Structure 1
């Protein structure tokens, strides 16, 4: 879904007030579910989740955490629900054999670095991770899912968006009221700058929780100086467009789609026609690229990004405590 504008408006926005009764019910049920005890996995579980609906940089954060785990001598495996994919699992993701329609887009990116398991039943997925040789599981999303106990849970926060208007869905972007989510996290990862992210960081400090600063670093490749028609179907397409501009690329046009958007022939034809009209090349994200048909993907440039921690040693020290 595409986040409505009022989620970033003042808490007293008329639409948010109108939806407040539904939010109260949704938040109450979500909080009760979140508080349930989970099954113990065969090895430690490090969870990367969001306080809110929408993208915040969980997948780059999961990749960065897995790299730190390997530096610590661990064998990480990723566990994902496989949002957008048709396979319930548990199944080991095999790039080339599986596509986004099978396992979702994010698991295909994770599987490039380490064994990745898609499972709607998280305990069953954790067991399969262990059978793949994992000594630690990195769970991509699932902060609000109680089925599997977490040894360490980070909330990833977009510095620009923060927690929006601070209301619970559907009146706002929160999955569960903040007061009920704080006890379930051991640290916050704030990606990028912004007053909204600073407000969350201040709240975390008030609860004596570590705050890890990070930023997305784009790989410019050969995009500098080139005219681009950029398109993205991610939680916050504007972040991608800003990262692309950082490389020195010239944004001749942008097209924003809903998160996990399944690209249809009409979408692809419109993108190709738009690029031709603008005299530009098509550029998208890694996450979008795996959802494109191979013949079309071959005509599209991909901007790769990585998440860089301001103080990786502090992250490493916190992770080492649960190993």
Structure 2
């Protein structure tokens, strides 16, 4: 078992040895508080001239952030906005300067999530999200900025904070890193504008939370490009499910809801794939996530499928969010 796996087990299934990490967690919280004070109070960055929405979380691991952000982008495009996304580009090697993601960009260069989001709108990656925002405004006609993660990147001024919570795993033992999965204490949710729970809203003691769901919309042959509706799948029930994401168990459960029997092969988040990891000694279909697909298309493998999903939010949440953005009206 790797150290990462051992820590995650301790976060969600209490282990006595994890108590030894509490002093480090207290230090982590102190440093985070000082950093926030330094960036927001002592040396705040000038506000950007368009509305800024931060879509992030207070815990590590997969929460469904990328498909939710893609759905929000599509929603605002339908409303007549020209949204753009800024991202850290985690897992990519893009240097210190902001970089606009293009169709020629690779996941190794800009990261997997930005490459996926760039199919919906302009995306700029940078270690400094504030500089990414300035670069995005300079090189595109964007009138609404959405930050992919970055809730704790307090150098970035923001108008709306939207936090995603994993409805299945919740907050674990409610401790900050490394003794627990939290980047900030749970009380931070009392300061944000929207709390969206992926799946179930039960048992997490968060006021005014809203639920959203990830809905499978199709299985796509990565090589051929053909799409099959979930109810029309004829590839057999037994499948290999390979996932390099923050919560691979959620991916497996999504496949089970379609009546499939996945053999799960979990890999680390932002994993760099090889063709051998997607090849098995049988003829069963192999299904991967859309986030992983941007790193695997060039393998040209047969019988490799992608589970495409979309995030479904209530019309009430979308309406309230749109009204908040309209009130800001910075671009007028």
Q: What range describes the TM-score normalised by the shorter chain of this pair?
A: 0.7 to 0.9
SS at 2:325 equivalent: coil
TM-score of the pair, normalised by structure 1: 0.88
Q: Which residue of 1 aligns with 2:293?
A: 289
Q: Which residue of 2 aligns with 1:304?
A: 308
Q: How big is each residue's C-alpha offset from its partner over 1:75-131, in whole Å with a ceiling of 9 and x where there is no partner?
A: 100110100000033111012x11110000000110000011111121211112222
Partners of 1:230 and 1:282 within 8 A in 2: yes
Among residues 210, 217, 222, which one is paired with 2:215 in the alignment? Answer: 217
SS at 1:218 equivalent: strand
Among residues 112, 121, 141, which one is paired with 1:114 in the alignment? Answer: 121
**Of 66-75 and 105-114, the range deviating more from structure 2:** 66-75
Query: For 1:2-81, what aligned pairs fall within 5 Å after superposition?
Result: 2=5, 4-10=8-14, 13-35=15-37, 36-37=39-40, 38-39=44-45, 40-81=47-88
* Alpha-carbon distance, 1:299 to partner: 4.7
* Alpha-carbon distance, 1:294 to partner: 0.4
Partners of 2:8 and 2:181 within 8 A in 1: no
Q: Please say if 1:318 is aligned against 2:326.
A: no
Contiguous gaps of at least 5 residues in structure 2: 220-227, 327-332
Q: How big is each residue's C-alpha offset from its partner over 1:47-72, in whole Å with a ceiling of 9 and x where there is no partner?
A: 11011011101111111211222233
Q: Which residue of 2 aligns with 1:139?
A: 147
* Aligned-partner Cα distance in 1 for 2:120–2:302: 22
* Aligned-partner Cα distance in 1 for 2:212–2:301: 30
Q: Which residue of 2 aligns with 1:177?
A: 185
* Aligned-partner Cα distance in 1 for 2:33–2:266: 32
* Aligned-partner Cα distance in 2 for 1:117–1:57: 20
* Aligned-partner Cα distance in 2 for 1:174–1:243: 25
- Count how many residue pairs are aligned between Structure 1 and Structure 2: 302
Among residues 153, 162, 167, which one is paired with 1:159 in the alignment? Answer: 167
Partners of 2:163 and 2:189 within 8 A in 1: no
* Alpha-carbon distance, 1:282 to partner: 1.0
* Alpha-carbon distance, 1:25 to partner: 0.2
Q: How big is each residue's C-alpha offset from its partner over 1:198-221, in whole Å with a ceiling of 9 and x where there is no partner?
A: 233x32x1xxxx422100001243
Q: Please say if 1:130 is aligned against 2:137.
A: yes
Partners of 1:220 and 1:247 within 8 A in 2: no
Residues 59/125 of structure 1: CA separation in 2 closer, same or farther (3 Å cut)? same
* Aligned-partner Cα distance in 1 for 2:8–2:324: 40
Partners of 1:68 and 1:316 within 8 A in 2: no
* Aligned-partner Cα distance in 1 for 2:54–2:94: 22
Query: For 1:183-202, what aligned pairs fall within 5 Å after superposition?
Result: 183-193=190-200, 197-200=201-204, 202=205
Residues 237/78 of structure 1: CA separation in 2 closer, same or farther (3 Å cut)? same
* Alpha-carbon distance, 1:290 to partner: 1.4
* Alpha-carbon distance, 1:298 to partner: 5.8
* Alpha-carbon distance, 1:295 to partner: 2.1
Query: For 1:81-92, what aligned pairs fall within 5 Å after superposition?
Result: 81-88=88-95, 89-92=97-100
* Alpha-carbon distance, 1:297 to partner: 5.3
* Alpha-carbon distance, 1:245 to partner: 2.0
Partners of 1:282 and 1:299 within 8 A in 2: yes
* Aligned-partner Cα distance in 2 for 1:34–1:233: 31
RMSD: 1.9
* Aligned-partner Cα distance in 2 for 1:52–1:249: 30
Contiguous gaps of at least 5 residues in structure 1: none
Q: How big is each residue's C-alpha offset from its partner over 1:23-68, in whole Å with a ceiling of 9 and x where there is no partner?
A: 1001111122234314212211111101101110111111121122
Q: Which residue of 2 aligns with 1:234?
A: 245
Q: How big is each residue's C-alpha offset from its partner over 1:249-268, in whole Å with a ceiling of 9 and x where there is no partner?
A: 332x210011111124xxx3
* Aligned-partner Cα distance in 1 for 2:24–2:184: 12
